[in-house]
Amino acid sequence: MRRELLRHELLMRPTVKGYAKIIEWSDEDQCYIGRCPDLMLGGCHGDDERAVFEELCQAVDDVIALYQADHKPLPPPNFQQKINWITSKHGL
């Protein structure tokens, strides 16, 4: 199900290999949504922002371990680069 984030509080934090971890508040779902858009589809959710972030960190570590175990290259971390470009372009 596609989640519409009507109002969100965006927390971006750099992660291993330059991937951004994003925690957003979803008014529709009344919980925090955690995702890492360059590395995996989906994510995690919950009532506690810190717990969602910790769960997301573990999920990212697990996905990276799967890539490494399969000897596959990790996808490029483009999302953080896009944010950096947008903020620099607009003087943010």
Number of domains present in the structure of the chain: 1
Can you tell me the distance from the alpha carbon of 5 to that of 26, in angstroms, rounded to the nearest whole number?
A: 5
**Residue 92 domain-assigned (yes or no):** no
Q: What is the pLDDT along the chain (92 residues), one digit of tens a residue?
A: 334 433 333 444 444 557 888 899 999 999 999 999 989 988 999 999 999 999 999 999 999 999 999 999 998 887 655 555 555 655 65
H or E segment to which residue 47 belongs: none
**Residue 43 domain-assigned (yes or no):** yes
* Backbone angles phi and psi of 55, in degrees to 5: -65, -40
User: By residue range, what is the domain housing residue 36?
Assistant: 11-84
